[in-house]
Structure 1
């Protein structure tokens, strides 16, 4: 991003506007599909962070650590960094340890490009086999890119939530808000605003589910992205971006109703 302060104002959509987000995207397909194709050809494809996707933050003497699973798409897979400790999982563990003084044992599961349906099909069941006290879910960006229906996305999130608490009823689930696509300067119009509108429709459905659960919380929309937030593809976070995201998400979670469950 050229200037962190030179960012567009946040678009606002009515409930009716969100309800037709998919129809709008499909109607604009003759324009936005070629734009998407051109972007894929231009944007460098960054690899997932090398394994292992697990680590620890904090004092080894802590006999009651937080056991955190980061479940999701390319962000869970550490795309944008070359060391998973500087990706989302490692940075969330650091931020949570610094804020609570509790040891955090973290691991990540997912893959670049994954939708919520992909997580259910390939990653959810094996990821939940290990003891888990906190799940951080980062998904939805690829569902928006694929123009998944909001109703289908809601069913998938409901399934994930049910499986998480079915396997670990005393766990806490944190879900990240979807990316603020309207601030992605590398996306041309009308692709940028169309993608943001549909992502907000998906987020609205997920937020209703998450907010209704006493042990779950969804973070608010992110603050403006700073200079240096993005990796070289200007789409995924880099090390600085993951750090800022983690600090924001953990600070917000600890002041939410589930915050007492994490201290």
Structure 2
């Protein structure tokens, strides 16, 4: 734990805890996006895509999967590939729960996985080194059990800008999210199969979901554009 984080917990601990409980109580619980969670789309070279993660991967903030991350990403990739895709995501998942979900799932081969996980780790008391160890376990599991050749990591969102969070909780979670991101980027650089997206999904007014915490359809579109570009570039190189 960093000195800043330790000091914040000592000085602000009770306040941060109260604000966290209050925010959880008053924030509207939005449903996951409705629609199919697997399918085949497009024509061209075969591309097997797995999308895994938490509420953002599950499309909370969009009414249908077509407007959410999975639908937007499949739509982009289907312009050039025959995409066989599957979505494994659930609201509330942290890294440990996602590991458990993937461990229970039958082995199935995919070329690419898009990973969206970490917000529920940041909002917990999980230490950075424990989180990184879980990210490494996720990567190993995806490569070994699902034969994944390319892992695309989504950065944690800029939580210091989330309108749903009061200060100083917003500052504290934003600080943790930035630290987690910096170390995740270092990890991604050391793992050949990994690419970390660089898009800054800034929560601009009107683009967030009504809970002030999740992306809206336009942000999901930007996220999908960035991911599709990375997937396409890496996939073409791997086929040469």
* TM-score normalised by structure 1 residue count: 0.81
Corresponding residue for residue 31 of structure 1 = 15
Alpha-carbon contact 1:177-1:218 (below 8 Å) kept: yes
Residue 141 of structure 1, aligned match among 119, 133, 150: 119
1:181-260 matches, within 5 Å, as 181-252=159-230, 254=232, 260=237
1:105-184 matches, within 5 Å, as 105-121=84-100, 123-127=101-105, 129-169=107-147, 171-184=149-162
Separation (CA, whole Å) in 1 of partners of 2:13 and 2:22: 14
Structure 2 unmatched ranges of 5 or more: none
Q: Which runs of 4+ in 1 moved over 4 A?
A: 252-255
Q: 1:96 to 1:118 in 2, by over 3 A?
A: same
Separation (CA, whole Å) in 1 of partners of 2:132 and 2:120: 14
Q: CA deviation at 1:105?
A: 2.1
Q: 1:149 to 1:186 in 2, by over 3 A?
A: same
Separation (CA, whole Å) in 2 of partners of 1:245 and 1:262: 24
Alpha-carbon contact 2:157-2:202 (below 8 Å) kept: no
Separation (CA, whole Å) in 2 of partners of 1:223 and 1:52: 25
* TM-score normalised by structure 2 residue count: 0.89
Deviations 1:67-89 (A, max 9, x none): 11111000122211222222111
Separation (CA, whole Å) in 1 of partners of 2:236 and 2:166: 39
Q: Secondary structure, in 3 states, of the residue corresponding to 2:87?
A: strand
Q: CA deviation at 1:191?
A: 0.7
RMSD, aligned CA: 2.4
Q: CA deviation at 1:207?
A: 2.0
